[in-house]
Amino acid sequence: MSESIEQSFTLHVPSSNENLAMIRSFVNEIAKRVSLSDEEAALLAVAVDEASANVIEHAYGHDASKQVTVRATIDDEQIRIDVIDQGKGFDPDMIERKDPRLLIKERASGGLGMGLIQRIMDEVKYHVVPGEKNELKMIKKRHKPA
Amino acid sequence: MPESFQIREELIGEVRVFHLKGFLDAHTAPIFEAALHARVAAGSFRIAVDGSELTYISSAGLGVFMSFIEEVREHGGDIRIGGLVAKVRQVFDILGFDEIFQIFTTAGDAVASFDASPAAEGEDD
What was the ipTM of the complex prediction? 0.89
Instruction: Give me the residue spans of the domains in chain A.
Output: 7-141
CA distances B110 to A28, A132, B50, B106, B114, Å, are 31, 49, 8, 7, 7
Q: Measure CB to CB from residue B27 to each of A18, A104, A109 and give the nearest one.
A: A18
- Whether residue B2 contacts residue B27, with contact meaning beta carbons closer than 8 Å, is answered with yes
CB contact under 8 A, A53 and B58: yes
Number of domains in chain B: 1
Using CB atoms within 10 A of its CB, is residue B73 exposed (0-12), middle (13-18) or buried (19+)?
middle
Q: Is there a domain that residue B118 lies in?
A: no
Sorting pLDDT into bands at 50, 70 and 90, what band is B123?
A: very low
pLDDT at B125: 38
What integer pLDDT is reported at residue A102 of this predicted model? 84
Structural domain contains residue B24: yes
| CA-to-CA dists, residue A132 to A65, A85, A89, B11, B62, angstroms | 16, 8, 8, 52, 32
DSSP three-state, residue A99: coil
**pLDDT tens digits, one per residue of B88-120:** 999 999 999 999 999 999 999 999 999 988 888
Instruction: Find which of B1, B4, B24, B25 to mutate to test the A interface (most A CBs within 10 Å of its CB).
Output: B25
Identify the residue with better confidence: B57 or A132. Answer: B57
Mean pLDDT of chain A: 89
**Is residue B122 in a domain?**
no
Read off the pTM. 0.91
Lowest mean pLDDT among A110-119, B12-21, B94-103: A110-119
Asked if B33's CB is within 8 angstroms of A53's CB, the reply is: no
Confidence band of B1 (pLDDT split at 50, 70, 90) = very low
Predicted confidence (pLDDT) at residue B73 exceeds the cutoff of 70: yes
Phi-psi region of A53 (alpha: psi -120 to 50; beta: other; left: phi over 0): alpha
Q: What is the CATH number of the domain that holds B102?
A: 3.30.750.24
Tell me whether B74 touches chain A (CB under 8 Å).
no
Q: Which chain A residues contact residue B26 at CB under 8 A?
A: 17, 20, 49, 53, 56-57
On whether residue B9 sits in a domain, the answer given is yes
Residues A91-117 have a mean pLDDT of 80
Domain membership of residue B72 as a residue range: 5-112
Residues B20-29 pLDDT 10s: 999 999 999 9
Radius of gyration of chain A measured on its C-alpha atoms = 15
Closest-CA residue of A relative to B33 is: A109
Lowest mean pLDDT among A66-70, A122-126, B99-103, B121-125: B121-125
Give the pLDDT of residue B2: 46
The pLDDT, as a whole number, for residue A2 is: 55
Residue B35 falls inside a structural domain:
yes
* pLDDT at res. B40: 97
Cα B78 from Cα B57, distance rounded (Å): 20
What is the architecture of the domain spanning A7-141? 2-Layer Sandwich (3.30)
Sequence-distant (6+) residues with CB within 8 A of A7 are A33, A73, A74, A75
